[in-house]
A = this chain, B = another copy of it.
Amino acid sequence: MSPARKQPRKSYHHGSLRETLVQKAVELLKKEGSEALTLRGVARAAQVSQAAPYRHFADRRALLGAVAEDGFTRLGEAMLGGVQKGGSREGFKGFAIAYVEFAMANPAQYRLMFGPEVANHSDLPSLQQTSRGVLGFVAEGIRQLQAGGLVREGDPWSMAVALWATLHGLVMIHLDGISEGVAPPLPVLLDDAMRTMMYGMAPR
């Protein structure tokens, strides 16, 4: 959301172009799909020249990285909202449902977040920090479940990766239409998978 800007527009040629570009890129991606997400198109949407974005992004990949980062940030917020009561079984389910709902509501941006265009976050430090923050959030959830006796002992980071991996894979297999028609619908798949994970991570 961002606090209301003091002088909304029109300082020199724009208020703050960087933000506007990312915002327009997210909109373009949502409305027109990933093929429409071009540097020139985003510049047009922001009503600046095609060269202007280069003052704020090194290249196309850097802009896409910022869009992916926006996605991870919003995904994290959605997950946090889904947890509600932390540490409980209901929180666990709510978190998983919120995750899948975010992906279904923003499929193109979700794909971009894991897509080849921004592959390997290592040279996009800000993006890497944000995506790791999401992993850290999941790991923290695992720690709370461990403290509550619902999850066995073990490296919370490793469990967080496994849990996130299962959710991500589920979303992709569904989005790609691989399971369509042969496996149960997504809500059932999600429920089954989360039950398996919960049993698998339970104390014994």
A-to-B contact residues, CB < 8 Å: 34, 108, 111-112, 114-117, 119-122, 128, 131-132, 134-136, 154-155, 157-162, 164-170, 172-173, 175-180, 182-184, 188-189, 192-193, 195-201, 204
Contacts and interface: CB of A to CB of B under 8 A. Distances in A.
24 contacts: A34-B116, A114-B172, A115-B115, A128-B177, A131-B176, A131-B178, A132-B178, A135-B183, A157-B179, A158-B183, A158-B184, A158-B188, A158-B192, A159-B196, A160-B183, A161-B173, A165-B169, A165-B193, A166-B166, A167-B169, A168-B169, A172-B172, A198-B200, A199-B199
B135 A179 contact: yes
Contacts of A121: 176-178
Contacts of A196: 159, 162, 197, 200-201
A122 B181 CA distance: 11
How many copies of the shown chain assemble into the complex? 2
A114 B158 CA distance: 23
A165 B173 contact: yes
A95 to B, nearest CB: 15
Nearest to A114: B172
A198 B201 CA distance: 10
